[in-house]
Chains A and B, each alone.
Chain A
């Protein structure tokens, strides 16, 4: 059974802080993804990675960076958090791009 975990369910940070969101998967998946979920906008892709140390920008990468030093771990970094980054962040992983993705439980981030 695929398991994708995220480091925090809820997080409150102040404007300007550096924020790290961690995601770990235990199924040896090649591909990992970070999405943000906002009401009425669905899931929007921030960054993805198809291999260790590889990363690609998604549709909304501005204000974010990522790190993938190990296959099972994919981190999302907000260099200087802003209030418009208040959102639900979902991590996902898949064996093949374009096929079933497995999601983590999400991190609800509030930036004040």
Chain B
């Protein structure tokens, strides 16, 4: 069945550095790729998403890139801050499809 791999599983960075999380997927029909952030004890919340008709999308310090040929997409966080510490989940979906989530990446931003 459909599978989404996510790497790394844990990531520690110094405050101000960049963080990159990568996901790969297997379903060629997928055309929607969201990223969710889950802070400790809170619900997952969408932080950015991308559709297959674009290769990159930015929103302030976060960006997502998509390579449909290679079937991978990445989350980039620049100038990391302590409040970026959380678990990040990628997913793939598309019209009429359910999401398949990656296993998550625990990001720690060290002051």
Chain A: residues with CB nearer than 8 A to chain B? 4, 33, 35, 40-45, 48, 58-59, 90, 96-101, 103-106
Give the contact-size bracket for chain B. 20 to 34
B32: A residues at CB distance < 8 A: 98-99
A96: B residues at CB distance < 8 A: 95
Chain B: residues with CB nearer than 8 A to chain A? 1, 4, 6, 9, 32, 34, 36, 42-46, 49, 89, 93-99, 101-104
- Asked whether, in the complex, the Cβ of B98 is within 8 Å of the Cβ of A98, the reply is yes
B6: A residues at CB distance < 8 A: 42
A105 contacts which of B43, B89, B93, B94 (Cβ < 8 Å)?
B43
A42: B residues at CB distance < 8 A: 4, 6, 89, 101-104
Residue from A33, A40, A43, A97 with most neighbouring chain B CB atoms (10 Å) = A43
A45: B residues at CB distance < 8 A: 98-99
Identify the 5 closest CB pairs spanning chains A and B, nearest first. Answer: A98-B93, A42-B103, A103-B43, A42-B101, A43-B101
- Asked whether, in the complex, the Cβ of B43 is within 8 Å of the Cβ of A100, the reply is no
Asked if A98 meets B89 with Cβ closer than 8 Å, knowing A103-B43, A105-B42, A105-B43, the reply is no
21 contacts between A and B (CB under 8 A): A4-B43, A33-B98, A40-B104, A42-B6, A42-B89, A42-B102, A43-B89, A43-B99, A97-B95, A97-B97, A98-B94, A98-B95, A98-B96, A98-B97, A99-B32, A100-B34, A100-B46, A101-B99, A103-B36, A103-B44, A105-B43
Complex CA gap A97/B29 in Å reads 14
B93: A residues at CB distance < 8 A: 97-99
